[in-house]
Amino acid sequence: MEQSLFKEILKARVYDVARHTVLEAAPQLSTAWGNSIYIKREDLQPIFSFKIRGAYNRIAAIPKDERSRGVICASAGNHGQGVALSARRLGMPAWVVMPTTTPDIKIKAVARFGAEIVLAGDHYSQAYDHCLQLVEKLGAQMIHPFDDPLVIAGQGTVGKEIIEDCPEVDYVFVPVGGGGLLAGLAIYIKSLNPAVKIYGVEPLDSDAMARSVQQNERVVLDQVGVFADGVAVRQVGTHTLAIAQDYVDGFIQVSTDEICSAIQDIYSETRTIVEPAGALSWAGAKAFIRQHALKEKHIVTINSGANMNFQRLQFVAERAMTGAGRECLLAIRLLERPGALKEFCTQILAGKAITEFNYRTNGTPEAYIFLGLSVHGIDDQERLLIRLRDEGYRVEDLTENELAKEHVRHMVGGRAPQAIEEELYSFVFPERPRALADFLAVISDRWNISLFHYRSHGADYGRVLIAFEVRRDERLDFEGHLQRINYPFTRETDNPAYRLLL
């Protein structure tokens, strides 16, 4: 199959609608990281994503006498835009099935190309199942987002352009969801130059391809991350897995904070704001360069998409500093005595730039403050922690604590003495009307809610923090009740951020 795919890439019809995007030198990043860094600007495509390549190549291959049936796909955004634009260019009807949680910006982006939009399900898997039902009803051709040879070939033209524009390339880092871009790019580049190293990059919480290669089978993830929604795939393709096993040199997993830091880097370099999945490539390249101390190599990264919901920028800004190792978050105990806070700020923190400071007395002999400080990397952070402990302060490092970053930093205010037997849980909610009401409707009235926190980030899903008053002898019954509710949850009662600050 690989040889036939290589030929399909050579004759792919993507340029009827897609562009040969620029491979842009990144002088700031190159200087900072000691390598020649290049950015493949797929964010400059007509739909601001590489997905137009595969969609058009697949749809253009449909015989003219079958085009009146139209095409249909399931998509959370970028693939749907590619299918809609391709169908309009070729004069075909199109249906795009999207989850009900899809942000309005993505729905409008698909609608502007004239496709009929069907909203179904809370997530992509449910939308995909509904799409399959519509295929039988409508008779339209299904356009798979990644597990189709012609889609893979269309995406493979990205690799073709990289070799044409930078034949001396040493490393290519590729964002991975279902694996269509990775598979097509890897086949083309490795067929011409096997010495080029190709690495797939995935979020830590959406690493279906790395797990599947490791286990030599298509793994189905129980849950996928909600931040980099463009690569939030529970299961990779049959074709894409087989190609990745033969052609890809390895995989890198990166955190949400590292992705946010990469978004900031790309903005500083290009003045372009990419979506989280669009920054994956550079986030992985940074991690790899740091780990392997690469120097004087030609490294290509891919801005795979720029369909960013503006509402998410606040979240990105909050996380970018920690992702770059330039901010640490701490919970620090202060004795409640006159002058303690002043002494801490003027003497212990003298010369340090404070990024965040949350404090409230709670009527006890000691209090905890939530503190953000600028640091110059992990070594500087370690020296700071040692100094604080040497000075007798009790310190909890919360820099990698998701609960602290997602919720607690926004709600520091002391403990509630009346909430004696309290159990804390974080939930993942679909961002659709009545999601909260539906959740509360299935929560039994046996347990009182004593804490609630939610912030919208403009994503398909949101994280909610809830505390319940649960007697010790009821905890097993309560957990069983939560298990029967169709919302993913994590028990956070023992999290130090909650214990110390809430």
Domains of the chain by start residue, with CATH? 1-322 (3.40.50.1100), 325-400 (3.30.70.260), 422-501 (3.40.1020.10)
Contact 160, 14 (CB under 8 A): no
Phi, psi (deg, nearest 5) at residue 314: -60, -45
Residue 424 forms beta bridges with which residues? Answer: 467
Give the Cα separation of 112 and 104 in Å (integer): 12
Q: What is the mean pLDDT of residues 460-480?
A: 82
Q: Tokens 């795919």 appear where?
A: 5
Neighbouring CB atoms inside 10 A of 491's CB total 13
Where does the pLDDT of residue 458 fall: very low under 50, low under 70, confident under 90, or very high at 90 and above?
A: low
Provide the residue type at 416 as one letter: A
pLDDT for 361: 62
CB atoms within 10 A of CB 241: 23
pTM of the predicted structure, to 2 decimals: 0.84
Each residue of 220-251: pLDDT tens digit?
Answer: 998 888 788 889 888 999 999 999 999 999 99
- CA–CA distances in Å: residue 104 to residues 145, 232, 304, 314, 315: 21, 18, 21, 18, 18
Residue 73: per-residue pLDDT:
96
Per the CB < 8 A criterion, the answer to whether 409 and 370 are in contact is yes
Q: What secondary structure, in 3-state letters, does 183-235 show?
A: HHHHHHHHHHCCCCEEEEEEECCCCHHHHHHHHCCCCCCCCCCCCCHHHCCCC
Least confident of 100-104, 169-173, 325-329, 437-441: 437-441
3 state SS of 445: coil
Please compute, for residue 270, the number of CA atoms within 13 A of its CA located in the half-sphere on the CB side.
26
Characterize 62-90 residue by residue with b for buried, 16 or more Cβ atoms within 10 angstroms of its Cβ, and e for exposed: beeeebeebbbbbbbbbbbbbbbbbbbbb
Share of the chain above pLDDT 90, in %: 53
Q: Which residues are catalytic?
A: 51, 304
SS3 call for 474: helix
**Angle formed at CA 93 by CA 91 and CA 99, multiple of 5 degrees:** 135
Q: How far is CA 33 from CA 30, 104, 274, 285, 297, in A?
A: 5, 38, 21, 10, 10
CA distance 205 to 254: 9
Determine which of 106-110, 390-394, 424-428, 439-443 has the lowest per-residue pLDDT on average.
439-443
